[in-house]
Amino acid sequence: MGTIMHGDNNLDSNNSSTNIKETYSGKAAIVTGASRGIGRAIAIGLAKAGYNIAGVGRKVKSDNSGQGLIEMQCEIESQGVDFLPLQMDIADICRHKSVVADVINKFGRIDILVNNAGIAPAERKDVLETTVESYNTVMNVNLRGAFFLTQIVSNIMINHKEKCNDYCPKIIFITSISAKIPSTNRAEYCMSKAGLSMAAKLFADRLAGEGINVYEIRPGIIETDMTAGVKDKYDKMIAAGLIPQGRWGLPQDVAKVVNAIASGSLDYSAGGIIDVSGGMNIGRL
């Protein structure tokens, strides 16, 4: 890959700019929600593939749960790449510009953005009882935050593409099987993921002509701390045949798909939707 000579790059829709380093030391990926679960597996997987990692999360230091960006540092850097831990709540849109600038200042480029950060409702409630507070909280993280972070990064990628032909950036949205399968006791989550699916399609349409491919990955029932509270419920449903492949998904199952995209194996699949759900997408009776 050729050197990208950087000038000033817009970091937001207001045309603010910052100076970009004129050298780089390898490809770089931003992974949001990197401190745990799917995001952690994705960050480690990309590091093994040779990407420098900017890990974004709400926790930098662990609270003895093992879920913190600092706990990842040795594992990431043992792959021979650099790691930049960045504390940010993705819902805090005012922080997006400075965090992206930190990535550029460290690595000089952004090759992959993985929009993975997401939350479930603090309490599952019937759709007839969904609260405004819960709706806003979930939407601000799962949809609004990802949309505006992608807007900033997209503009930087377009600027870089204009300066180097041998540069193939990619954007990945981690949505959910809930983007198309309703759960009436977590309406705000399902709507946020359905909206994120449309965001992926919109950016895919807009950016394909710029040489920037956008993808959507739809995980099914993945074994993480987010699903720990309903493990018994899903164990029974899986045993009863909910998932054709008959097992829980693992964070590494999602990470493998991200690595396939990063490798260029899906370069003629702009806008592709990839289910990682053990066959739940089949929709059998």
Q: Which domains does the chain have, with CATH numbers?
A: 8-275 (3.40.50.720)
Give pLDDT, residue 66: 61
189 annotated active-site = yes
CA of 91: how far to CAs of 1, 3, 119, 136, 146, in Å? 34, 33, 11, 10, 8
Backbone angles phi, psi at 172, to 5 degrees: -125, 130
Tell me the per-residue pLDDT of 17-62, one tens digit each, with 9 for 90 and over: 333 344 445 899 999 999 999 999 999 999 999 999 999 999 787 6
**In this structure, are residues 109 and 72 in contact, taking their beta carbons and an 8 Å threshold?**
no
Question: For residues 4 and 156, what is the distance between their CA atoms, to the nearest angstrom?
Answer: 12
Give pLDDT, residue 11: 57
Give pLDDT, residue 46: 98
Q: At what angle do helices 146-161 and 187-208 cross, to 10 degrees?
A: 10
Give pLDDT, residue 123: 94
Q: Looking up tokens 């679960």, which residue turns up?
A: 37
**Out of 51, 189, 234, 268, which one is annotated catalytic?**
189
**In this structure, are residues 202 and 196 in contact, taking their beta carbons and an 8 Å threshold?**
no
Give pLDDT, residue 14: 41
Q: What is the mean pLDDT of each run of 10 residues along the chain (285 residues)?
A: 38 41 69 96 98 93 70 93 96 97 97 97 96 98 98 97 89 98 96 98 98 97 89 93 96 98 97 97 86
Give pLDDT, residue 61: 73
Please write down the long-range contacts of 195-202, taking CB distance under 8 Å and 24 or more positions apart.
195/139, 195/142, 195/143, 196/115, 196/142, 196/143, 196/146, 196/147, 197/173, 197/273, 199/143, 199/146, 199/147, 199/150, 199/173, 200/173, 200/175, 200/271, 200/273, 201/271
